[in-house]
Amino acid sequence: MRPAPTILHLDMDAFYASAEQAAKPSLRGKAVVVGGLGPRGVVATASYEARVLGVHSAMPTAQARRLAPNAAYLVPRFQLYRSVSEQVMELLGRLSPLVEPLSLDEAFADLEAGGTADDSASARCTGERLRTAIRAVTGLSGSVGLAGSKMLAKIASEQAKPDGLVLIEPGTERELLAPMPVRTLPGVGPATGDHLRRAGMTTVHDLAEAGEDELVRLVGKAHGHGLYRMALGLDDRPVVAERDAKSVSVEDTFDVDLHDRVRVRAEVERLAVRCVERLRAAHRSGRTVVLKVRRYDFSTLTRSETLRGPTDDPTVVREAAARLLEAVDTTGGVRLLGVGVTGLADFTQEDLFAQAADARELAERVREPERQAPESGAEGAGPAADEEPESAEQLAARRWPAGHDVHHAAHGHGWVQGSGVGRVTVRFEEPGGPVGRVRTFRIDDPELTPADPLPLVRDPVDYSSWPASLPKSRSGPVSAAGEESRP
Q: Has 106 been annotated as catalytic?
A: yes
Q: 464: helix, coil or strand?
A: coil
What one-character DSSP code corresponds to residue 326? T
Per 3-state DSSP, the chain is made up of helix, strand and coil in percentages (nearest 5) of: 35, 25, 45
User: Are the C-beta atoms of 415 and 406 separated by less than 8 Å?
Assistant: yes
Helix axes 212-219, 221-231, angle to 10 degrees: 140
Half-sphere exposure of 201 (CA within 13 A, CB side): 25
Which residues are CB-contacts of 77 (< 8 A; sequence separation ≥ 6)? 19, 20, 369, 403, 404, 405, 453
User: Are the C-beta atoms of 159 and 31 separated by less than 8 Å?
Assistant: no
* Start-end of H helices in 120-186: 120-138, 150-160, 173-177
Label the pairing between strands 142-147 and 165-167.
parallel
Residue of 49, 106, 267, 269 marked catalytic: 106
Measured distance CA(397)–CA(368) in Å, rounded:
14
| CA angle (442, 448, 454) in 5-degree steps | 135
Cis amide prior to 314 (ω within 30 degrees): no
Residues in the chain: 487
Taken in order 385, 390, 392, 396, the sign of the CA dihedral is negative
User: Are the C-beta atoms of 91 and 466 separated by less than 8 Å?
Assistant: yes
Measured distance CA(376)–CA(283) in Å, rounded:
34
- Neighbour order of strands in the sheet with 43-46: 43-46, 32-35, 72-74
Write out the DSSP string of 391-450: PHHHHHHHHS-TT-EEEETTTEEEEEEEEETTEEEEEE--TTSPPPEEEEEETT-TTEEE
User: Are the C-beta atoms of 297 and 338 separated by less than 8 Å?
Assistant: no
Helix axes 78-95, 15-23, angle to 10 degrees: 110
b/e map 379-418, b = 16+ CB within 10 Å: eeeeeeeeeeeeeeebbbbebbbbbbbbbbeebebbbbbb
Residue 215: enclosing H or E segment and its boundaries?
helix 212-219
Residues classed as catalytic: 106
